[in-house]
Structure 1
Amino acid sequence: MHPDTSVLTALRGGLVVSCQALPGEPLYTESGGVMPLMAEAARRAGAVAIRANGTRDIEQIKAAVDLPVIGLVKHQYPPFEPYITVSMAEVDALVEAGAEIIALELTDRPRSDGLSPAEWVSVVRARHPGQLLMADIATHAEGVAAAGAGVHLVGTTLSGYTTASAGAPSPDLPLVARLAETLAVPVVAEGGIHAPDQARAALEAGAHCVVVGGAITRPHEIAARFVAALT
């Protein structure tokens, strides 16, 4: 079974809106219901896909909007640092929820199961050969390794969030450009994009599509930027 790569074509040149709210954030509720509203707003604006965390939100979003979903599960496994879809149980759940693309953390940080990023991709592909996979990486070397391991997209999601990428610019457009020049698979610009001109610059740097989250779907972050500017 081969993945449906037409989904990748649908993402080309477009905006993916990350609709996520974690426990403790103002838009998080135990029963959900908020992220589908965010997803509908994104759809009306012309977004080409949604990025969402957790099977509950993914299922609710897919019931509300007819857009592809990049699904992930954020969960910490202390003392290990990787936290974006790092277990097979999480992958299985995302497949069951219907996520067209599954995001996996493929940084060089040690995993709880001891697998290398390439080994992890191999295990996931063997179990779910028809599933599109996106690598969330932080450095150029990690992106090259992820593409070589067989993922279908590489995203700059974790640039600046790992020790190896400390001090990287935000958004990391140089990383987007370098990956786009190097890789045969599509590059997703994600992380630190707060303004439309930055999103446009990401496409001009070679990104296949652009993911924007907090600048659209986290009103407390948006309000905080205004407050900081006024004070």
Structure 2
Amino acid sequence: IPHRIEAYDISNIQGVDSVGSMVVFENGIAKHSDYRRFKINTVKGANDYDSLKEILTRRFKHGLDEIKRIQEKDLKLSAGKFCVFPDMILMDGGKGQINIALGVLANFGINIPVCGMVKDDNHKTRGLIYNNIELTIKANSNLMRFITRIQDEVHRFAITYHRSLRNKRVLHSILDDIPNVGNHRRKELLKKFGSIENIRSAALDELIKTPSIDSRTAQSIVDYFKNQKRL
């Protein structure tokens, strides 16, 4: 098993709140401190290939920039977030995803082996593709269990980030409709109560105790949710 493995995945729902994830395994163990997540900035709609190209480009550009700064003694190795490169890259997908990764690496002049983690018709990990060849791996082997663990982990990390962005967007859209609640007050409400349901059920005096929430704003919040119940 290569010393350091990085795996990548994309998550979105019909192109909304599209994100990418990078998980790292060193010596067969997940290294959570090196996990990275990416909010897709340049791709519109559901385009996993272009999204993968964006996050891989950002990851290795940051890495090369950090290596240059380390060489110039402008950055300590321990402070770098992307300067350690993997011995192998695993893509959640097949030949298309592999080719995207190889193209990005070629543009930077980087040579790292890339494999694709493919799934069967039941969406379970089936094996690896390398150099356009699907490698035969025994279903119950330790290697297959390891690959499955990586694939499940990179998918979980991407989904978790996607859901957090989606939930924040929904929360913000609701609070934006409440009179007298601007960006600062919205953050204070979410910081104290944690969810729309908790804000909805909060008493007037609880709301007033929230930093930056005066009695007029608190009453606006109470009135807003009362009116919502009538709709």
TM-score, scaled relative to structure 1: 0.34
TM-score, scaled relative to structure 2: 0.34
More helix by share: 2
